[in-house]
Amino acid sequence: MRMVIRRILFLGVLIIPFIIFWKSDEPDIYTVDISQPGPPIITGHLKLGANKNLQGEVLDANSLYFTKNGKPWYPVMGEIHFSRYPKAQWEESILKMKAAGIDVIATYVFWIYHEEEEGKFNWSGDNNLRAFAELCKKHNIYFFVRIGPWCHGEVRNGGFPDWIVKRGNVRKNDSVYLASVKKFYNEIGKQLKGLYFKDGGPIIGTQLENEFRFNNAAGLTHMLTLKKMAVEAGIDVPFYSATGWPGSNQKQDEIIPVWGAYPEAPWDKKTSKLALSGNYLFGSLRNDPAIGSDLLGQHEQQTDYKGYRYPYATAEMGGGNQITYHRRPIIEANDVTALTYVKVGSGANLMGYYMFHGGSNPIGKLSTLQESKATKYPNDYPIISYDFLSPIGEWGQLRPSYRGFKVIHTFLSEFGDRLVQYYPSFPDKKPSAAADSTTLRMSVRSKDNSGFVFISNFQRQLEMNYAQNVQVQLKLKDGGVLKFPETPLTVKSDVQMILPFNMDLDGLNLNYATAQPLCRLAASEPVYIFFSPEGILPEYSFREADLKAVEVNDAVFTSGNGNYLIRTTQPGTDCTMKLTLQSGKVVKIITLNAVQALNAWKADIFGAERLFLSGRDLIFMKDKIRFQSTLNPEVKFSVYPALSSLKFSSGIPAISNDGVFSALSLKLPVKNIQAGVKEVTDLKAYQNSGKKLPEDNRTSEMNVLSPGPQYQTNLKAVDGSRYFEITIPEDALKGISDAFISLDYTGDTGAAYLNGKLIADDFWSGLPMSIGLKRFSSSLSGKKLLFQIVPLTDERQIYFEAGIREPFKGKDATILKSVNIIPQYEVFVSSGK
């Protein structure tokens, strides 16, 4: 056998410290029995709609997973509300979602947005449902339409027009109510005609109602009536779904129940710290018992695959949380991405997020359109902002969670066809409760001795211990045992990972690896991209008999017991393996580090599947890439395989090598945007002198302890408030893609007005308020905004994260600390050929 080893460390130097370290501690072994098969898969029983299109493509589902053209499929679905976002920016947002690994876009169709006045439908401008669906078709991304008629979505009346609410007898088989629903459904059907999957369009599913109990005869009858009405309206799609909570009939075959989990519960009535959430534990809890508890009370649904007739599908995995007036949590990236690892590891086979993209409530003709206590709903929300702290924010900005989600979505896109066939199993040692910070949280998904180990050493608002000396012991189908890794792991706190075992790499069996698979690049010699979880130097195990030759770089390997053990020494762009099988076929592996994985973007572009590494934001278009960089004027990226020629829309890049990647960088001209800021006390010049917007009708019921937003849609003085005039330079957006005003302030609420009309708002949580300028480019340049800060008084009963409110107790907390305008640079890159 030929072995070529370059740039390696002498084996003894690497191993001896580990021997000394582990000698004093026995391995902490987690045993998982994967020897038993899961329940038989039920097929052909679900009553789907038209699921074959004009091109002969077929979508289907069985009791375990979804299929595309007869092959297992792992859909990843993210929600954006088209009517809460400017039409001019829809296309950019769709492409951002697609670049994050979203292959199904979900949306609500809020009835009140489209028929605020009875009989007067509005499908124009930002309400143009058809135009949004056509963009999904243009960019080859599926579309899932949630048609209500009641939606919730933190919208006024849950999406019902006021005239429907006044009429009464809603959400039941009342003939008058159903007649109005029929008209609404018929309008949706007309808007989407010719765009259904059967027509070659993107629309593959619809959700009926929301948070509706149909585990009783009357409820099920109503849901089936709605489905029948939708089909009659032309909404004929492969999949019909409904939220499984608060109670769903799981013997029927017409509607697929969908589930969810959130990091926090801002709708909870309490203004104190909530109990630790069980959502971060692997196991049989299919649904977050707190979802909808403000309206429906607590409820639980356990996973039991025996007799379960549908794929375990989610639709409301929290991409963030929308803060309420009385609860203002701060959601970090790990708070949401850890939920995905846990639910995927626990068996979920459709990952659907609410929300993946934030937005803004429009102001209606007759009223504001946010949920409020004045409309007899439990919570007060911002009048306009529906940012949701989501991966893509209200202004199109990408948060750190976007990159964390992109990592696992890339895995699901590449290897989900295997994963969906694997049932979950759980170890002999499990955390005793959410507060258990010592026992490692893990699961295994497997079939026929192959699978993945899922680990998440994270719990929101709990400091987790390092899990040391960890080994996994799998009881296999044939009675054997697989124990790994050879060098026990130390799992740092707040780290998630997916570790493969008996994974097929184009005919080569990977016994196990302590690196996470990211993707595969198709080529004559296929390339598998793995990465090292934070704090781990990965090791890979292969059977000696399978390999003719091994070439490694930034790694060492040994042989024993019929296996080769390859240990990486420096994960990165030069940490490579070239493995030659006995047949002569070559498989390559690159092991990146954890930061590089967060900055990895896979795309089939410029004639090949490529991997880009960049801390900038990438938007992939048909024949070019749009690079966006917020604050930093330098556009940098590495690409593999290398490109011989690239054309930049501006400037000439510097080119160098980055391991086996090619590196390119370009410095754009620096853009400094200075805002003029002055405090004002006379509001006359800033008030709305034209047609007034509808006022928020909540003010008549203010509670001094929790009054909700006291600012208004038309600028109005509020006792104790401070006001600041902010001037935007006329050339603020010249030469850049966008710019964001960052308002670092303290107070109860912040509200921005243009010509006396509310354009943006914020419930202060300790984070700066942002406003994207591109949305207002025609009306803001050279204009003066007025920023109103309503004071936060000690009597307000509001939950803040620890350390946020305490410094301001007993003090005047109405402060504008700074105003910055942050530029977003942009450059387009295309093939130079």
* Residue ranges making up the domain that contains 695: 676-825
Q: Which amino acid is at 431?
A: P
| Residue 83 domain flag | yes
Q: Residues 215, 136: one domain? A: yes
* pLDDT tens sequence across 512-523: 999 999 999 999
| Residue 145 domain flag | yes
| DSSP codes, 446-486 | EETTEEEEEEE--BTTB-PPPEEEEEEEEE-TTS-EEEEEE
* pLDDT tens sequence across 267-294: 999 999 999 999 999 998 777 787 865 5
User: Cα–Cα distance between 180 and 164 in angstroms, integer?
Assistant: 8
Q: For the chain, how long is the longest CA-to-CA vector?
A: 86
Query: Cα dihedral angle (43, 48, 50, 52), rounded to 10 degrees?
Result: -20
| Residue 649 domain flag | no
Considering the chain, what percentage of its residues have pLDDT values greater than 90?
A: 90
Q: What is the pLDDT of residue 298?
A: 55
Query: Cα dihedral angle (695, 700, 701, 707), rounded to 10 degrees?
Result: 60
* pLDDT tens sequence across 664-711: 999 999 999 999 999 999 999 999 888 999 988 765 557 888 999 999
* pLDDT tens sequence across 418-453: 999 999 999 999 999 999 999 999 999 999 999 999
Q: What is the pLDDT of residue 301?
A: 55
Q: Residues 237, 303: one domain? A: yes
What's the rounded mean pLDDT across residues 600-616? 98
Q: Residues 446, 408: one domain? A: no
Q: Final residue of a domain: which of 598, 617, 641?
A: 598
Q: What is the pLDDT of residue 23?
A: 40
Rg of the chain over CA atoms, in angstroms?
27
Q: Which amino acid is at 657?
A: N
* pLDDT tens sequence across 384-404: 999 999 999 999 999 999 999
Give the C-alpha distances (Å, rounded to integers) separating 644 from 529, 606, 607, 663, 831: 22, 11, 12, 12, 9
Q: What is the pLDDT of residue 18?
A: 33
Q: Residues 593, 688: one domain? A: no
Average pLDDT, the chain: 94
Q: Residues 762, 804: one domain? A: yes
Q: Residues 335, 480: one domain? A: no
| Residue 551 domain flag | yes
Which strands form 481-491's sheet, in the order they lie side by side? 28-33, 467-475, 481-491
> At 728, which CATH number?
2.60.120
- Give the three-class secondary structure for 397: coil
Cis peptide preceding 257, ω within 30 of 0: no
Q: Residues 333, 229: one domain? A: yes
Beta bridge partners of 761: 751
Q: Residues 174, 286: one domain? A: yes
What's the rounded mean pLDDT across residues 208-230? 98
> At 128, which CATH number?
3.20.20.80
| DSSP codes, 180-207 | HHHHHHHHHHHHTTT-BGGGT-SEEEEE
User: Cα–Cα distance between 230 and 377 in angstroms, integer?
Assistant: 28
Q: Kindly report the pTM of this predicted structure.
A: 0.96
| Residue 799 domain flag | yes
Q: Residues 448, 497: one domain? A: yes
Q: Residues 84, 215: one domain? A: yes
Q: Residues 183, 251: one domain? A: yes
| Residue 48 domain flag | no
pLDDT at residue 7 tops 80? no
| Residue 737 domain flag | yes
E-only strand ranges, 652-766: 654-658, 661-667, 676-680, 722-727, 738-746, 749-754, 757-763
Q: Residues 691, 735: one domain? A: yes
Helix residue ranges, H only, 326-399: 333-345
| Residue 427 domain flag | no
Count of structural domains, the chain:
3
pLDDT at residue 9 tops 50? no
